[in-house]
């Protein structure tokens, strides 16, 4: 009889475990949705993508665009984007022609960061009342963070991720999604003229070589 009880208890444990796994899977599916629902796509042309790169380097030495993938890379000892700048090295695209001061705007893109890149910003919401930026997404030791603070995604090296950033200017709020799942909500930094940037931009603790790759970049508004 004791053996029968043990077998029955084991079956119950297995059943409960399978049920919990199924429930968690369903919750993950239900929590994921397309962040662009309810938004209008903003048409972008080639002229809407402006490159910033070390001023003494030809663009081809720090940027490539092939088969729909934009690849950005810099070295820690590279020059800034112009001789008069005191900023760190960068190779970025600035989405121009669609600056905004109000409304709800959204950036979407798929990114890939190769292992070894650290101390680098890969995406920005530029503009703020008393800062240069409202948002920076930085890579530190394989984790994607808001500046040096909240972790948005862990173990990101050598994988593709879908990123959506929604900037609600009126409510001073930025919402960040990874693979259609909401991860972080942060406050804004006051009124300004805003725009989106992405690529690679050296920050504190930067590695000697920094790189990010992007594809499927789009902008939406509501």
Residue 1, domain extent: 1-31
Shared domain for 45 and 4, answered yes or no, is no
Q: Which long-range contacts (CB under 8 A, 24 or more apart) does 175-180 make?
A: 175/35, 176/137, 176/146, 176/152, 177/35, 178/144, 178/152, 178/153, 179/32, 180/32, 180/33, 180/34, 180/35
The CATH number for 78's domain is: 2.60.120.200
pTM given for the model: 0.86
Q: pLDDT per position in the chain (222 positions), as tens?
A: 555 655 566 455 545 455 446 554 444 444 579 999 999 999 999 999 999 999 999 999 999 999 999 999 999 999 999 999 999 999 999 999 999 999 999 999 999 999 999 999 999 999 999 999 999 999 999 999 999 999 999 999 999 999 999 999 999 999 999 999 999 999 999 999 999 999 999 999 999 999 999 999 999 999
pLDDT at residue 8, as a whole number: 62
Shared domain for 117 and 151, answered yes or no, is yes
Shared domain for 116 and 206, answered yes or no, is yes
pLDDT at residue 16, as a whole number: 44
pLDDT at residue 42, as a whole number: 98
């Amino acid at each position: 009889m004791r053996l029968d009880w043990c077998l029955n208890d084991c079956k119950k444990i297995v059943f409960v475990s399978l049920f919990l796994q199924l429930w968690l899977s369903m919750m993950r599916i239900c929590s994921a949705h397309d962040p662009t629902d309810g938004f209008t796509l903003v048409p972008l042309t080639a002229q809407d993508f402006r490159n910033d790169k070390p001023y003494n380097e030809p663009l081809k030495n720090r940027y490539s665009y092939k088969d729909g993938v934009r690849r950005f890379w810099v070295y820690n000892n590279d020059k800034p984007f112009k001789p008069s700048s005191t900023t760190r090295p960068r190779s970025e695209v600035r989405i121009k022609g669609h600056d905004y001061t109000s409304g709800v705007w959204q950036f979407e893109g798929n990114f890939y960061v190769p292992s070894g890149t650290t101390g680098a910003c890969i995406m920005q919401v530029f503009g703020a009342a008393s800062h240069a930026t409202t948002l920076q997404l930085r890579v530190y030791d394989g984790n994607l963070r808001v500046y040096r603070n909240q972790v948005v995604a862990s173990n990101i090296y050598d994988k593709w991720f879908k990123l959506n950033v929604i900037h609600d200017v009126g409510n001073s709020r930025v919402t960040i999604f990874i693979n259609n799942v909401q991860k972080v909500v942060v406050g804004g930094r006051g009124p300004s003229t805003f725009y989106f940037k992405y690529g690679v931009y050296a920050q504190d603790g930067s590695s000697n070589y920094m790189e990010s790759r992007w594809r499927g970049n789009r902008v939406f508004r509501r």
